[in-house]
Amino acid sequence: MKKTALITGATSGIGKATAELFAANGIQLILCGRRQERLNQLQTDLSPLTKVLTLNFDVRDRSAIAKTMETLPDEFSNIDILVNNAGNAHGLNTIDKGSLDDWDAMLDINVKGLLYISKAIIPQMVARKSGHIINIGSTAGKEVYPKGNVYCASKHAVDAINQGMRIDLNAHGIRVGAVNPGLVETEFSNVRFKGDEARAQTVYRGFQALKAEDIADIIHFVVTRPYHVNIADLVVMPTAQASSTIINKV
Ligand code: NDP
Ligand code: 8X3
């Protein structure tokens, strides 16, 4: 039987590349995001390959999430794979200069949003004693870098939640693991720098950054292992990157 995956943040970057690769491999898709035009485009592009349902909500909106998940069409109601991917950095400032709005956004989206979605889907996985949750963390969840403070805190929280989920869902036979990328060239830095394209591009200049497709490939590898194999925690960087601050730029 075909598997069904729900991917948050499917309108761009890692989530979109994962949706495309899953579709090419016949996985049914529930694709989430806020930009309706992009959801429509994904529906058009991927429907010839697999069944696609698009859902528009903000992961901060817990009541919208709960309502949407309670009213899924029958053919999408059994979710086998949850990819908790929606998230971003907002701002890059020393802690004394950080914006409260940026801090709220990162903690509300990257941490609480991931929890709200998980809370809506875990009960059906527990009932079926089967399921796979992939949490997209970051190298920023493994180490802290200058001016990364609250984004790093949000990804350290994802790291802790990933471990907590794995421990608490162990008795139910559910697979839980994190994929933690280093620098991936997506819309991530455009969002971090609030649309300043030129500044965003400098982040990936002088070395070969990871592509969204590289991470999608890894996520697909993770979900296609035999059921007794759980990739619990995976860190992946560009070859040119050794840590958050050590990057071999030419
Ligand atoms: P993108 O900016 O390209 O994609 C982010 C996705 O998240 C978009 O689809 C966006 O959709 C969605 N999203 C953001 N905020 C919300 C929200 N409030 N509600 C619903 N959806 C939301 O970035 P990436 O693909 O790079 O990022 C994906 C994940 O990977 C994030 O968790 C990020 O932290 C992580 N990551 C990224 C790295 C990188 O270097 N790029 C490295 C390590 C981890 P929409 O705007 O339509 O809602
Ligand atoms: C994204 C990687 O180093 O830009 O999580 O924070 S980094």
Note every long-range contact of 18-21, with CB atoms under 8 Å and residues 24 or more positions apart, other chains counting: 18/83, 18/85, 18/215, 18/216, 18/219, 18/220, 19/46, 20/45, 20/46, 20/216, 21/213, 21/216, 21/217, 21/219, 21/220
Catalytic residue numbers, as ranges: 151
CATH 3.40.50.10320 fits 4-236, yes or no: no
Atom of ligand 1 nearest to the CA of 209: 40
Q: What is the mean pLDDT of residues 107-112?
A: 99
C-alpha distances out from residue 104 to 51, 55, 108, 193, 203, Å: 35, 24, 6, 16, 24
What are the residues facing 241 on neighbouring strands? Answer: 247
Ligand nearest to the CA of 191: 1
Q: Is 140 in the pocket of ligand 2 (CB under 6 A)?
A: yes
Ligand (nearest to CA of 8): 1
Q: Stretch 226-240: mean pLDDT, rounded? A: 98
> Which residues are near ligand 1 (CB < 6 Å)?
8-15, 33-35, 38, 58-60, 85-88, 109, 136, 138, 181, 183-184, 186-188, 191, 212
Q: What is the pLDDT of residues 33-73, one digit of tens each?
A: 999 999 999 999 999 999 999 999 999 999 999 999 999 99
Specify the pLDDT at position 1.
81
Q: Which of 85, 101, 145, 179 to mutate to test the pocket of ligand 1 (most atoms within 8 A of CB)?
A: 85
Percent of the chain with pLDDT strictly greater than 90: 100
Q: Which atom of ligand 2 is nearest to the CA of 151?
A: 6
Which atom of ligand 1 is the closest one to the Cα of 14?
25
pLDDT at position 38 is 98
Residues near 244 by Cβ (< 8 Å), separated by ≥ 6?
Answer: 139, 140, 143, 144, 145, 148, 182
pLDDT at 102: 98
Average pLDDT over every residue of 66-84: 97
pLDDT per residue over 92-104, tens digit each? 999 999 999 999 9
Listing DSSP states for the chain in one string gives: ---EEEESSTTSHHHHHHHHHHHHTT-EEEEEES-HHHHHHHHHHHTTTS-EEEEE--TT-HHHHHHHHHT--GGG-S--EEEE----------GGG--HHHHHHHIIIIIIIHHHHHHHHHHHHHHHT--EEEEE--GGGTS--TTTHHHHHHHHHHHHHHHHHHHHHGGGT-EEEEEEES-EESSHHHHHTTT-HHHHHHHTTTS--EEHHHHHHHHHHHHTS-TT----EEEE--TTBSSSS-B---
**Does the C-beta of 244 come closer than 6 Å to ligand 2?**
yes
Nearest CA to ligand 1 atom 9: 9
- pLDDT for res 64: 97
Tens of pLDDT, residues 131-177 = 999 999 999 999 999 999 999 999 999 999 999 999 999 999 999 99
Pocket-testing residue among 151, 190, 214, ligand 2, by greatest number of atoms within 8 A of Cβ = 151
Q: Where do the structural domains in the chain lie, given as residue ranges?
A: 4-236
Structural tokens at position 99: 């914006």
Question: Would you place residue 248 in the very low, low, confident or very high pLDDT band (cuts 50, 70, 90)?
Answer: very high
Distance 241 CA to ligand 1 centre (A): 21
Query: 9: CA distance to ligand 2 center in Å?
Result: 16
Could you give the percent of the chain with pLDDT greater than 70? 100
